[in-house]
Amino acid sequence: MKKTKEKQESDVVSIRLPVAFLKNHVGTHQTGKKTGKKRYVWNSKKLRQIIEDYYKETEPTEEPEMTTHNFKTDEIKSFLQKSIRRADQDETGFCAWELMTSGVRYVEILFNRLFVISFEDVSNPIAPVLVDLTHRKVKSIYNASKPKATDTARIRGDKIMARNQSIMIAIACAMHLARMKHRREADSQTNYLNYFDEKGQFEKIKPEIPDYVLDKHTAEGRKRHKKDKEQNFWNESVKMENVAEDYDRKYEKLMQQIAKKMDEERLEQIEQRKKKKVKKSQQD
């Protein structure tokens, strides 16, 4: 039985992408009749099956994964984070070691968690940079130290030493986070806002936009400050708290002095354009 035109069209999905991105593609390569551009036309049934198979493979199993020494992965990750929060370097070091010695997949698990911790629990803005740089170096050393059947005894010894060094570096990184000052405002506020949003009660905590926000960079601000938008910006919008001790206000003050002149010049230009427009319309 032949398919109707509607049915045939529903069975294919056109995806316009460079060939380099279409690994393991399903479908046919066609040239558009009108545009003449090349594109891949995917068979949606096959594509849907590929997506379903992918998610089946990536769905978490009911049985938790175990580390080398039979710790549940979710528990050792939680143990790591709670140890860092409590500034317990010994337990932090142990958790990092357990994950590092459980295989390459656990190296990623460790550093993904450390990266989250660096924002969620640590006050030092250098923490995420430390974790990211350490992750790159540790991953490089760890991958390069994989044993091969052709390795000589000396090479095997060097690789074992390199792998131990990568473990030590990872532990040191985790310990640094444990030693740093801790704070959790970002995570606490995220959960607070999520709670009201999920309950459909966001209006209860929704803040009002302050007047100082409405400057020349917003449509409402330009409407309110038609005559003094530069003065409003340089006298109100640029105000700061927690200012650096060595901040030089020299040019800020100079801009405040010429802001009124800038507004006057702008208004004059607008007036001149209006006159030209009127004059042109009269001539026409």
Domains in the chain: boundaries: 9-57, 73-179, 211-239+248-276
Structure tokens at 212: 């100082």
The tokens for 243 are 């200012």
CB 64 within 8 A of CB 39: no
How many whole angstroms separate alpha carbon 237 and alpha carbon 213? Answer: 7
Mean pLDDT computed over every residue of the chain: 84
Q: How distant, in Å, are the alpha carbons of 19, 20, 29, 57, 179 from that of 23?
A: 8, 7, 13, 18, 45
Taking only the tens place, the pLDDT of each residue in 204-249 is 999 999 999 999 999 999 999 999 999 999 999 999 999 999 999 9
pLDDT of residue 12: 39
What is the spatial order of strands in the sheet that 38-43 belongs to? 12-15, 38-43, 28-31
- In terms of average pLDDT, the best of 30-39, 76-85, 196-205 is 76-85
Instruction: Determine the Cα angle at 182 with ends 117 and 76, to 5°.
Output: 40
**Joined tokens for residue 260:** 């009124």
- Of residues 43 and 97, the one with the higher pLDDT is 97
Rounded Cα gap, residues 104 and 94, in angstroms? 17
pLDDT tens readout for residues 93-150 = 999 999 999 988 999 999 999 999 999 999 999 999 999 999 999 999 988 888 888 8
Q: What share of the chain in percent tops pLDDT 90? A: 64
Supply the pLDDT for residue 14.
41
3-state SS of 207-251 is CCCCHHHCCCCCHHHHHHCCCCHHHHHHHHHCCCCCCCCCCCCHH
Tokens of 38: 């090349």
Residue 42, classed as helix, strand or coil, is: strand
Q: What is the mean pLDDT of residues 260-282?
A: 90
pLDDT confidence of residue 188: 95
Both ends of the chain: CA-CA distance in Å? Answer: 69
List of residues 6+ apart from 108 with CB closer than 8 A? none
Residues paired with residue 13 on neighbouring β-strands, in sequence order: 42
Query: From the CB of residue 230, how many other CB atoms can be counted at a distance below 10 Å?
Result: 22
Q: How far apart are CA 159 and CA 73, in angstroms?
A: 26
pLDDT of 15 strictly over 60: no
Q: Cα–Cα distance between 234 and 225 in angstroms, integer?
A: 13
Radius of gyration of the chain (CA): 31
pLDDT at site 46: 61
Between helix 104-120 and helix 127-144 the angle, nearest 10°, is: 170
